[in-house]
Structure 1
Amino acid sequence: MTAELVRGQNLPLPHTRLEVRVSAGAPVVCGATLADAEGRLSGAGQVVHPGAPRLPGVEVPGTAAMEHRLVLDLDALAPEAHRLTVLLALPGGGGDPGAPAHFGALAPPRLTVGVPDGDGIATYTLTGLDTESAVAALELYRRQGAWKVRAVGQGYADGLAAMLADQGLPPMTAGELAAAALAAAVPTAPPATAQPAATPLTPGPAVTGPPPPRTADGGSAAPTTAVPLDRATTDPAATGATARPPAAVPGATIDYSHPRRSTASRPAPAVERAAGTGPRPPAPASAPAPATAPAVPVAGDAAGWTMDERLYNQVWGMFEDLARTTAAYRSAIDFADSRREQELDRALADPRARIGSAGDAARAAGGARYEELSARARETLDRDLAQLTAESEAVEPALPPAYARWDHPVWLGYRPPAEPAMAVRLGDLRLPERPELRIPMLIRLPLERGLWIDSGRGGSAGSLMADATELRRLAAGTAALHAVRLLAAHPPGGCAAHLLDPGGSAASAFASLTAAGLVSAPPAQGAAGVTAVLDRLVRRVELVRMAVRGGATDALPPDIDLADQLLVVNDFPYGFDDRSVTRLRYLADEGPAVGVHLLLVADRADAAAYGPLLDPLWSALLRLTPVPDEHLADPWVGHAWTYEPPTAPAGGGALARVLGELGSTRR
């Protein structure tokens, strides 16, 4: 199975005879550099390019083209070659006036590392490029006698010469070598009229978010529209997204970047340049100057037909940037630690060097190098996080009610929308590297799975410190807030709520919904009340499913409400017999497709008597918590995200306003 890498991610290579396949939206020049263990080039002879396309163990194409195939034999590389970097450059510098000036004008190039004429091992799509005309795309490097591949994606606005200078060549040598490589590639490159540059195809107005999460216990976790996933990946459809595939255009290449946002307002996430060693030192003073500082972030800086859609995509992009820049930082720290251990092992391999001043000096040198690499990685991380923080501060005030926190002033002017919102906010997500930077956790509407508010002790510090009664109270209150937000995201009459509280333990939490007339009837109590509500909703699901399949929706009985239905169940499985449990499972599985959605408050331990019978139910629901918890895991780079649930606004002004507006439309 081919792995899809993200920037900064690495992967072991099971083979040493490989090929790298490159696909770009316009002719590009492809080459490689062979650096030492420090990532430095000793001379021009370590650069493989169209003018000198072969060195032992590596062969590159001799012309610029839209498709390339590099042949590698890592065992045949010179012993001093520890890092092979695959580079791409636009041929404009070689005298081709028809070539694009920068990668931002093209669909993102895609690289695949695989066995010759066989299966792929890893792929990497170079998204996020803008004014760069050269890029260090992939790096294959030795580590403890084995080879790995790392997705780098480090672009250079000043072109191939700046890239070569950054790897240690003198500026004059780098400039001459870059000019020779580009000139050698251009004369035999296809004319610009023979292969028009591909037109990036962008998705339609509905754009998916990140893949959904799963929980540590195997249940589904967060969909990620700014959401990570829990302990395992699931079908991206679980996000509730309805992305439309772009129409096929002859000669065009699909732009796999998602979302397609402007990169002018944000630097690309930090990427370790040499096998995770952290940022390179500044280039010599005579080398081309780096790109200028990023522009001030602007709310709505993303693709989309409406402002809500652009903000949704921008939030998704903030989540992705935070995930990647943190992954790059952690990778750099891991590398620095591993390098320190390797250096100490080599220095102390001789037993005579383990004592005395030689051993102390080796330890001190290893520690100093570790601190240097860690400090440079932290500096890059802090820079990227500062930019993301600035963007968050620009985006939060511009969010519409459905995306906003409960303390946002936008709620004070709330009016029921004319159409359902694109998504709703279920809380916030953060990482320990910058706890104060919170990314909204958005989930697309309509819901494609139900929500489960876990009232048990999930292992977080908050749940372990609270007693069982307090956790149940918090869970019921959180469910009420989610229910109000879901109702507020629909137009009048667009969503009806039903409450099941068999033991009456959540009467105070649901009192505001009942008093505002937002539920069809008072919370159903006891086994009889549970059975009546479930039977009514199951009948609706069955009739609507049959009508849809038969194309006879106009023949539905008049008592069938075609508006979305939200079933809120508190303290499950109290009050449920076997038949009711089966019906609830049916609603969780079949209800979302016909507009019946489940919001369940439960402690899984309370349902332990049902054994594996309820495993499909937990897996079908998106698990949330009433207290901050680290149960959401990102399948892209393995982060454990901290989820923070919504909290009631201070003073209740905003919530009272929303309840009053919703109640007035139902009276």
Structure 2
Amino acid sequence: MTAELVRGQNHPLPQARLEIRVSAGTPVVAGATLGDENGKVHGVEWVAHPGAPVLPGLEVSKQAAADHRLAVDLEAVPDAVHRVSVLLALPAADGRGPVRFGAVAAPFVAVTGLDGTEVASYTITGLEAESAVVALELYRRQGAWKVRAVGQGYAGGLAELLADQDLPQAHQLAGSIHEAVARGLARSVPAPPQRTADGDRSPQPAAPAPGPDHGATAPQGAPGPVPPASPYDPHGAAGPGPQSEYPGGPGAADPASQPSPAGSGGPIDYSHPRRQNAAPPPPPPTAPPAEPGQPARPVAGDATGWSMDERLYNQVWGMFEDLARTTAAYRSAVDFAESRMEKELDQVLSDPRSRIGGQGDAAREAARARHGQLVARAREAFDRDLAQLIAEADVVEPALPPAYARWDNPAWHAYRVPMEIPMALRLGDLHLPEADRIRIPMLVRLPLERGLWIDSGRSGSPGDTFADSHDMRRLALETAVAHAARLLAVYPAGEFTVHVIDPAGSGAQALAPLVQTGVLAAPPALGAAGTADVLARLTQRVDLVQMALRGGAADSLPPGLDTAQQLLVVNDFPHGFDDRAVNQLRYLADEGPAVGVHLMMVADREESAGYGPLLDPLWRSLLRLTPVADDHLADPWVGHAWTYEPPLVPPGSQVLQQVLTQVAAARRSWDR
């Protein structure tokens, strides 16, 4: 029976291998410290945190998330350790996220066995100004282990918490932990909105035990619905939950316009109001029912949503989540089988009587046979789930609208300039090595909540093995052009404007589709003077719109101001940028998205190393993409390393030219 603990209460632990599951109403950092008999932490090597997630007998998540799983093997912790303290902390505030636990839902912590059976749980109540808390304590008493509900909060955050455990380097370690969390932003994609109970997908794969990359999974036994974990929050780990800024999910509204400025000719659309009434039920399936005992036949658009656009969006994210979780379950089962076999073999070798001879050989063969059976059963379940997902992908991919479709999808042949902004945009595909047959569309919400960084540097991935630095820069700019073209294509005429800075003129060939079709606001800016002019105009635009919106006077903007969403494509950074231009670029990256100015950097970070840490916030604020396949992105539920594939135009295809020609013609008609 599960023990529901209150503060100070303890409970015996029946086994050594455990999971600690955390559910919070906002992304939190989870960690743990190892203490001696007096609870003292002797050094940073006794602390598990996102920057150093593995200690003997202990593993924590590598990212900030709303849900966590911590793996504990009490038999593997050092003999000098008598106390394992589980820590939770809010990430360093950036002005947009909660700064104290009193402003969010009470965190819920549960200790479970590897099979998911709950041993003890604790809801941490009574927190107010605290930003860090010791949630639980596993402690050794007379040779046995127990768990105690602690709930001790610290208004001074992680630094104060660690200092209270007598760690000399408390402040330095707290800073490095927050820095490790911040570094994760460069590999993040926005998480989907939370789905309501009506939108849940069935069946859900078994939840996995954590491995080296496992970060956030939905807890079992947590009271009430739990938002999806979000290291991919566009505002960063310290930002609000994934639902707060995203319209269009279950229970969310279509974007609404702000008042139009006089003489502007178009609306200002910088806010994301939410629909207040409940989401509708999913549409009835149109496919014939499945035969008894067979899985339901997949149908495109069978998720919850107000429109087919929203249903397909939610369905794609559901496929993403299902594949993440079923793969995690398979990896966890394989890890368990290998761990069990190693333990059984160690037992055989530790007994001199069975170490040699027929008895030892038989024991080893039996251990390997049990390992094979466990792996075979896990693979069978994984293949069954994978077959269902492949069948679903086969019906969903052809039904996707242009904004969600690959460039080789026939939907682009029937392309017409839209009248409304879609919910999201496809930025490429994601896949896992165990499931290479299925590609999940990588969708991000519109308008963009953060800028994009197309990394032209050498990442060491298999995709750039045979490409030199010149080829990588060319591929990166071609990828940026494809992204910019897709953004232009999915916005109504006159509601999206693209500017290009190419100081050295090195990208003329790759930029040709944008230049020749006439979709750019002006020719690419060249040299330091051209760079300064474009940055000054966009910086001024951000300032004007910010002042107007903060003052509640959107209709007081200058009549000639372009109220369309703006995209600035920067090639070959930092060539042509002086210190002033660099500061303006950082300003646009930080403040621009909130007022409709977005940044797309095509750059090799190493080439700007001379600026030192000055540009670290810039890179962290951007979503890093690559021009070649690379496994640098992770999902918001488990934390797998997903291989990202950019949305390249098929060789010889004229689809990009045809689409941009239609966009340019529609823009000319709108300008009249």
Q: Same fold (TM over 0.5)?
A: yes
| Equivalent position amino acid for 2:355 in 1 | R
1:580 aligns with 2:581: yes
Change (3 A) 1:507 1:235: farther
Q: CA deviation at 1:665?
A: 1.0
**What is residue 468 of structure 2 aligned with on the other side?**
467
Q: CA deviation at 1:419?
A: 1.2
**What is residue 83 of structure 1 aligned with on the other side?**
none
Change (3 A) 1:119 1:259: farther
- C-alpha separation in 2, matches of 1:259 and 1:354: 65
**What is residue 417 of structure 2 aligned with on the other side?**
416
Secondary structure in 2 matching 1:613:
helix
Segment drifting more, 7-16 vs 437-446: 7-16
Q: Is the 8 A contact 2:228 2:637 kept in 1?
A: no
Q: CA deviation at 1:131?
A: 9.3
**What is residue 512 of structure 1 aligned with on the other side?**
513
**What is residue 528 of structure 1 aligned with on the other side?**
529
| Equivalent position amino acid for 2:580 in 1 | R
**What is residue 301 of structure 2 aligned with on the other side?**
300
1:4 aligns with 2:20: no
Q: Is the 8 A contact 1:323 1:639 kept in 2?
A: yes
Secondary structure in 2 matching 1:527:
helix
| Equivalent position amino acid for 1:522 in 2 | P
**What is residue 658 of structure 2 aligned with on the other side?**
657
Secondary structure in 2 matching 1:392:
helix
Change (3 A) 1:137 1:259: farther
1:447 aligns with 2:448: yes
Secondary structure in 2 matching 1:652:
coil
- C-alpha separation in 2, matches of 1:355 and 1:577: 73
- C-alpha separation in 2, matches of 1:131 and 1:640: 25
**What is residue 390 of structure 2 aligned with on the other side?**
389
**What is residue 370 of structure 1 aligned with on the other side?**
371
Secondary structure in 2 matching 1:428:
strand
| Equivalent position amino acid for 1:390 in 2 | A
The equivalences for 1:252-651 within 5 A come to 292-651=293-652
- C-alpha separation in 1, matches of 2:249 and 2:347: 55
Change (3 A) 1:568 1:607: same
| Equivalent position amino acid for 2:332 in 1 | S
Segment drifting more, 315-324 vs 457-466: 457-466
Segment drifting more, 575-584 vs 627-636: 627-636
- C-alpha separation in 1, matches of 2:657 and 2:69: 47
Q: CA deviation at 1:655?
A: 1.6
- C-alpha separation in 1, matches of 2:381 and 2:284: 17
List alignment gaps of at least 5 residues for structure 1: 17-33, 40-46, 49-56, 60-72, 80-112, 141-149, 155-197, 203-207, 214-221, 248-256, 267-289
Q: CA deviation at 1:515?
A: 1.2
Q: How big is the alpha-carbon RMSD for the aligned residues of Structure 1 and Structure 2? A: 4.6
Q: Is the 8 A contact 1:130 1:264 kept in 2?
A: no
- C-alpha separation in 1, matches of 2:150 and 2:355: 50
Task: Give CA deviations for 1:594-624 in whole Å, capped at 9, x if unaligned.
Answer: 1000011000001000000000100110000
- C-alpha separation in 2, matches of 1:136 and 1:326: 9
The equivalences for 1:128-143 within 5 A come to none
Task: Give CA deviations for 1:545-582 in whole Å, capped at 9, x if unaligned.
Answer: 00111111211112211111110110111110111000
- C-alpha separation in 2, matches of 1:307 and 1:464: 41
Segment drifting more, 552-561 vs 385-394: 552-561
1:241 aligns with 2:246: yes
- C-alpha separation in 1, matches of 2:553 and 2:294: 60
Change (3 A) 1:631 1:368: same
- C-alpha separation in 2, matches of 1:505 and 1:622: 24
Q: CA deviation at 1:463?
A: 2.1
Secondary structure in 2 matching 1:641:
strand
Task: Give CA deviations for 1:161-186 in whole Å, capped at 9, x if unaligned.
Answer: xxxxxxxxxxxxxxxxxxxxxxxxxx
Change (3 A) 1:307 1:574: same
Change (3 A) 1:12 1:572: same
| Equivalent position amino acid for 1:643 in 2 | Y
Q: CA deviation at 1:261?
A: 7.0
The equivalences for 1:211-226 within 5 A come to 211-213=230-232
| Equivalent position amino acid for 2:475 in 1 | L
Change (3 A) 1:500 1:336: same
In our comparison, the structure showing a higher alpha carbon Rg is: 1
- C-alpha separation in 2, matches of 1:323 and 1:515: 42
Change (3 A) 1:8 1:118: closer
Q: Is the 8 A contact 1:406 1:647 kept in 2?
A: yes
Task: Give CA deviations for 1:436-457 in whole Å, capped at 9, x if unaligned.
Answer: 2100000000111100000001
Q: Is the 8 A contact 1:211 1:234 kept in 2?
A: no
List alignment gaps of at least 5 residues for structure 2: 1-19, 25-65, 75-82, 85-111, 122-137, 154-195, 210-216, 253-277
Change (3 A) 1:139 1:657: closer
Change (3 A) 1:210 1:310: farther
- C-alpha separation in 1, matches of 2:199 and 2:220: 9
The percentage of counterpart residues that share the same residue type is: 56
- C-alpha separation in 1, matches of 2:323 and 2:286: 15
Task: Give CA deviations for 1:256-307 in whole Å, capped at 9, x if unaligned.
Answer: x9999799999xxxxxxxxxxxxxxxxxxxxxxx982211100001000000
